[in-house]
Amino acid sequence: MIAITSHNTTDERIAEIVHWIEKHGVSAHVSKGEDRTVIGIIGKADPVMAEQLRQMSGISEVIKISKSYKLASREFHPADTVISIKGVEIGGQDLVVMGGPCAVESPEQIDEIARLVKAAGGQVLRGGAFKPRTGPYSFQGVGVEGLEMMAEAGRKHGLLTITEVMTPEYVDICAEHADILQVGTRNMQNFDLLRKLGTIQTPVLLKRGFSATYDEFLNAAEYILAGGNPNVMLCERGIRTFETYTRNTLDLAAIPVLKQLSHLPIISDPSHGTGRRELVEPMCKASVAAGADGLIVEMHTDPDNSMTGDGVQSLFPDQFANLLLDLEKLAPLCGKTFSTKKEPVLAGSWKK
């Protein structure tokens, strides 16, 4: 940690600050510059100390050199984390594709979509039973029954399942039914939810808050890891910028950055990251080229009539299958493996 003094800080004040620092059991190295002085703090400093120093008179800036997260950092844990669930490995050699509708609507809908995800080569079925919605009058999901419909479809077609959990009290029931729990972008800093997820072992896909920095994102992961659950994967899903043509700006540089700062697997979500169907395919390919460990993609058999209105970003089943055929060729050039049955899904070959 380094503290930099203000322009006019007197030698007396510097001495007082140094005295205050040393009282806390760490040592201070003073380097006088032309018009400011730099105080290096050496030793294991309490994180509160940085915050206190920053607000002292005579100090203009405090720079932390050690990161505020530890368990999530690659420095602490150099090897890639690989999360193994019923034979599927996330963060390892295989590219993992998660596909499905924004919301579970009926047993028939989710069964047919599960069939199509499997046929195309996907490994995980996504679907929301509880939906976070901007306004109170929008469709809020079908609830617990949706969890059961999805679990059943996953079992039948041999797919893992992932679903969003929005509040600590639903963590247990969601974990009973789904293989992976998703924390949505609006809940990335719902600290009680993160703490609760730290107490179980079910893998968690943590979505980046749409205005979260990398540092805040990794600190949110740290909440879960620090609680005792090591099975966290990070998900880039677009950030909010001034550009409104796309729903969000998918920040693909996040993939190599997070790979460098952390050992956790990284999944990319081009559906929410762009909000436009025609951009999903190129941004899926770009995500894999940037080094993603997996993709989460919205697919729907009847997007015109989806209940959440997210159909606008959902692929049709044949588009989804064609994308996966392309990924099969692309993956080996990007250090990954991925295999399909090499058969396209024909347009119109599904039940709406």
35 binds a copy of itself (CB under 8 A): yes
305 binds a copy of itself (CB under 8 A): yes
325 binds a copy of itself (CB under 8 A): no
Can you tell me the distance from the alpha carbon of 284 to that of 264, in angstroms, rounded to the nearest whole number?
20
Q: Extract long-range pairs of 105-110: CB within 8 Å, 24+ residues apart.
A: 105/142, 105/306, 105/307, 106/149, 107/149, 107/152, 107/153, 108/351, 109/301, 110/149, 110/150, 110/153
Q: Which member of 85, 148, 330, 344 binds a copy of itself (CB under 8 A)?
A: 330
Given the complex with a copy of itself, which of 135 and 348 has the nearer CB atom?
Answer: 135
Q: Which member of 11, 51, 172, 343 binds a copy of itself (CB under 8 A)?
A: 51
Given the complex with a copy of itself, which of 1 and 124 has the nearer CB atom?
Answer: 1
Closest distance of CB 31 from a copy of itself, Å: 4
Q: Which member of 187, 229, 231, 262 binds a copy of itself (CB under 8 A)?
A: 187
Q: Give me 329's structure tokens.
A: 């060729």
Question: Which of these ranges, 87-95, 229-237, 255-263, 339-347, lies near a copy of itself under the rule CB under 8 A?
Answer: 255-263
Given the complex with a copy of itself, which of 179 and 310 has the nearer CB atom?
Answer: 310
**Residues in region 100-159 near a copy of itself by CB under 8 A:** 132-139
Closest distance of CB 37 from a copy of itself, Å: 9
Cα of 155 vs its chain's centroid, Å: 25
Closest distance of CB 60 from a copy of itself, Å: 9
Is 276 in contact with 243 (CB distance < 8 Å)? no
Task: Build a one-symbol-per-residue string for 192-221: x at contacts with a copy of itself by CB under 8 A, - elsewhere.
Answer: x--x--------------xx-xxxx--x--
